[in-house]
A and B are shown apart, each in its own frame.
Chain A
Amino acid sequence: NAGVTQTPKFQVLKTGQSMTLQCAQDMNHEYMSWYRQDPGMGLRLIHYSVGAGITDQGEVPNGYNVSRSTTEDFPLRLLSAAPSQTSVYFCASSYFRDAEAFFGQGTRLTVV
Chain B
Amino acid sequence: AQSVAQPEDQVNVAEGNPLTVKCTYSVSGNPYLFWYVQYPNRGLQFLLKYITGDNLVKGSYGFEAEFNKSQTSFHLKKPSALVSDSALYFCAVTLSKFYFGSGTKLNVKP
Contacts and interface: CB of A to CB of B under 8 A. Distances in A.
Interface string A82-112: 0000000010100001101111111000000
A41 B102 contact: yes
Interface residues of B, number: 23
19 contacts: A35-B100, A42-B4, A42-B101, A43-B90, A45-B99, A59-B97, A92-B43, A92-B44, A97-B94, A98-B32, A98-B51, A100-B46, A101-B46, A103-B36, A103-B43, A105-B41, A105-B42, A106-B42, A106-B43
Interface of B: 4, 6, 9, 32, 36, 41-46, 49, 51, 90, 92, 94, 97-103
A43 B49 contact: no
Interface residues of A, number: 23
B49 A100 contact: yes
A44 interface: yes
A71 interface: no
Given A97-B94, A98-B32, A98-B94, A44 B45 contact: no
Nearest to B49: A100
A53 interface: no
Contact of B90 (A42, A48, A58, A98): A42
A40 B102 contact: yes
Contacts of B46: 100-102
A90 B43 contact: yes
